[in-house]
Structure 1
Amino acid sequence: MKTYIYMVRHGESPKTEGDERTRGLTEKGRSDARIITQLLKEEGIDVFISSPYKRAVATIEELAQSVGKEIVVFEELRELVFIGDNQIMADNELYPLVKKMFTEPDFSLPGGESITVCRNRVVGTFRNILEQYRGQKVAIGTHGAVMTLMMGYFDSQYDLDFLLTTSKPDIYKMEFQDEVLVETKRLWKN
């Protein structure tokens, strides 16, 4: 039975307001979310799932509303916790850290989690989603690192190099036959 998962990486988000959980989208991020709605509203998506982080929910919110669906929030799909207390890290600190973490999967900063811990959390949740929504089309509002770890579990080409080529937002349509990944297509054109 075929199941389709639409990985929707969140749009551009300001790093000057709130914290990792509460920061929303920039004006460009909101504009891109409207484009996502146009791109995906005819796909016949049955279920909308998101990380609890505001920017992930906001990226798929209009799309879900346009087809009369609610968004189910899964706490386990939160972004990789890079540092404690939901602190926002500047990109010039974050990118070298991400590279180190992918090279050393058990490394973490104080209060943060390692790639290994995050992968176990999100892959288990993703496999449950595949089982629970078998035969359906599911959109997941997600984050770059988490998306890469979930996709990489099924196909090793989705690794750090892949993550570094993704955009905000981004969309990948994954086709599964039962729990086997058959094909992945990038739908976002930046």
Structure 2
Amino acid sequence: MKQIYVIRHCEAEGQPPEAPLTAKGMKQALELAEFFSTIEVDRIISSPYKRAMDSIQPLAKNIGVRVEADARLTERILSDHPMPDWFEKLRNTFEDLDLKFEGGESSLEAMNRIVEVVEGILHSRDENTIIVTHGNLMSLLLKHINADFGFEEWKNLRNPDVYLIKYEENKMGFARIWE
């Protein structure tokens, strides 16, 4: 059986790649490290964005596992142009996975990036892997596994949030494990 823990980063000061964690986010990173202190972890793969890397560093340091940065785990770009109605446009991309806005990527394109990471994990020897990513990308992975996971579920994600994906006998399922 493979277990993949998918973590949405802790609270951050903004959206740019270099945005640091807030003081609350730094405390949350320590809480994540404590949460995982009794869980075996073979591998950690993270978005290279500062908020994602900083969310997992306390745990990585505690357990002596190197964090692998993987650009496929970066946040999805909805558009490279300002969109005052971005919330509604994002909602539409959960209904039409091929919908794409100028300078952005479709839900399907973003989903394929994180699914590639998961498929690599499934073909590795590692049994317990952590992925640290961003809310939209995380929700698209969960939607890939269960098509019912949609916009409303994305809205209910927290910073941080943790889902456990279990893969056994060619079956995949997930559950939220962060309270």
Q: TM-score, normalised by structure 2?
A: 0.90
Structure 2: 5+ residue runs without aligned partners? none
1:165 aligned residue: 156
What are the residue-to-residue correspondences of 1:1-190 with 2, within 5 Å?
2-15=1-14, 20-84=16-80, 93-134=85-126, 136-181=127-172, 183-189=173-179
Q: What is the DSSP-based 3-state SS (H/G/I as helix, E as strand, rest coil) of the residue aligned with 2:119?
A: helix
**One-letter amino acid matched to 2:151:** L
Residues 55-84 of structure 1: per-residue CA shift (max 9 Å, x gap)? 111111111110011101111111111223
Q: CA deviation at 1:98?
A: 1.5
Q: What is the DSSP-based 3-state SS (H/G/I as helix, E as strand, rest coil) of the residue aligned with 1:132?
A: coil
Q: CA deviation at 1:185?
A: 2.9
Q: What is the DSSP-based 3-state SS (H/G/I as helix, E as strand, rest coil) of the residue aligned with 1:22?
A: coil
- After superposition, the CA RMSD in angstroms is 2.0
Q: What is the DSSP-based 3-state SS (H/G/I as helix, E as strand, rest coil) of the residue aligned with 1:176?
A: strand
Q: What is the DSSP-based 3-state SS (H/G/I as helix, E as strand, rest coil) of the residue aligned with 2:38?
A: coil
For residues 31 and 75 of structure 1, the distance between their equivalents in structure 2, rounded to whole angstroms, comes to: 25
Identity %, equivalent residues: 26
**One-letter amino acid matched to 1:67:** I
For residues 144 and 160 of structure 2, the distance between their equivalents in structure 1, rounded to whole angstroms, comes to: 21
Q: CA deviation at 1:43?
A: 0.1
* Contact kept in structure 2, 1:76 and 1:125, CA below 8 Å: yes
Structure 1: 5+ residue runs without aligned partners? none
Q: CA deviation at 1:106?
A: 2.2
